Structure 1
């Protein structure tokens, strides 16, 4: 006997395994048994516990495949600047952007960040998102990157939403390494990645491969090192320029290459 039934569904959007596409069914009910969909039909097996959907649309939970949820304060002012034509690079050159968030995350306690991230997850869930890929990357030193991933791990355990963790120590060059970027890459490869893998708090390893951030060679090194340790590669690729990052993503077997606003035809083919 199902433990829950959803009734009065106007339209149900689901996946059709035969056509491998979207399927829309009208005026159906859903029976759920112990958290698993047991039956979909015009009249499903009965149970006393039911939710009246009042003729609304029902969909599977949304999946957000690219998020950076571990930060203290928003950067809405920078969004307004972007709308006025100021570039991402210009904002970063003035100490804004990623580095602006890094300052806050480094000084924040783990409990402060857990509270902020939990609140954001409440909002995600309200809007129908049930799974999110969750990157670190606003710590940019070993302690703060580990802290960020621990926050993701703790919220994932306590919240209804599913959070899939990505280590992104290679999100930007921190100020203390601005004149020695290869030394920061050494830190990622020799200290951060081993610490992340030892604690088992990430599934993926992401790099921002872009002019002013990480070069092709640096990105290859970081992604290969992570892959050797069992972390699946991901990339921020060709966002501002065609740097060849999409081709590198294919080379290292990245599960995703995100942004791609300036990807070349060769990058797409790769």
Structure 2
């Protein structure tokens, strides 16, 4: 990768308009000596719509504990679901907006945002709406992905196929009508969704205009 040194960059209303050894006069000059100017980072996998973190589980994963083992101990994705279901849209908005501030502060300017902590139609739609509202009011660029197939909720734990049917027959049509999500994702993993279920959900999403 080529590195340019001792150059000037002109920015007008947040847009780079010129790069060269000497650019046009500007109203304000910023000395970037000893600093790096780089394009914004893109984070291609996040789940920002939640209330409380699960940092302890991250430590468990680093030690080799599987997602399934964490879930068996009462942790994992389901641990966040009740909080999201019971939270108001305003509560979630405030949490997500604050997280976007942190992303932007370290140079991330575009972020893919998955739902997936609602696991019912109402809460998944609420999560996507929060993503959309934050995106419309924050400087960061957010791209929404529907992920109702993040885990099997407890009310369907004995009948996962019925939950897959709910996703295909109710959630995906509602998400498509809402028009916020651009993509559809599935957690295809032992103890979550198998290959056949994942294909069914992704195919139905594609039929509704959601890219897999």
Q: Deviations over 1:132-164 (max 9, x none)?
A: 000000000001100110010000001010100
Aligned to 1:215: 194
Aligned to 1:161: 140
How many correspondences in the alignment?
212
Give unmatched runs, 5+ long, in structure 1: 1-21, 234-270
Answering whether residue 118 of structure 2 is matched by residue 125 of structure 1, we say no
Give unmatched runs, 5+ long, in structure 2: none
Residue 222 (structure 1) shift? 0.5
Answering whether residue 95 of structure 2 is matched by residue 116 of structure 1, we say yes
Distance in 2 separating the partners of 1:35 and 1:86: 44
Aligned to 1:143: 122
Contact 2:152 2:163 in 1 (8 A): yes
Aligned to 1:6: none
| Helix, strand or coil at the partner of 1:230 | coil
Answering whether residue 29 of structure 2 is matched by residue 55 of structure 1, we say no
Distance in 2 separating the partners of 1:34 and 1:105: 37
Residue 85 (structure 1) shift? 4.2
Structure 1 runs, 4 residues or longer, greater than 6 Å off: none
Distance in 2 separating the partners of 1:82 and 1:33: 45
Aligned to 1:100: 79
Residue 84 (structure 1) shift? 4.2
For residue 202 of structure 1, the aligned residue among 169, 178, 181 is 181
For residue 17 of structure 2, the aligned residue among 38, 42, 48 is 38
Answering whether residue 148 of structure 2 is matched by residue 134 of structure 1, we say no
TM-score by length of 2: 0.96
Contact 2:48 2:99 in 1 (8 A): yes
Q: RCO higher in 1 or 2 (8 Å CA, sep ≥ 6)? A: 2
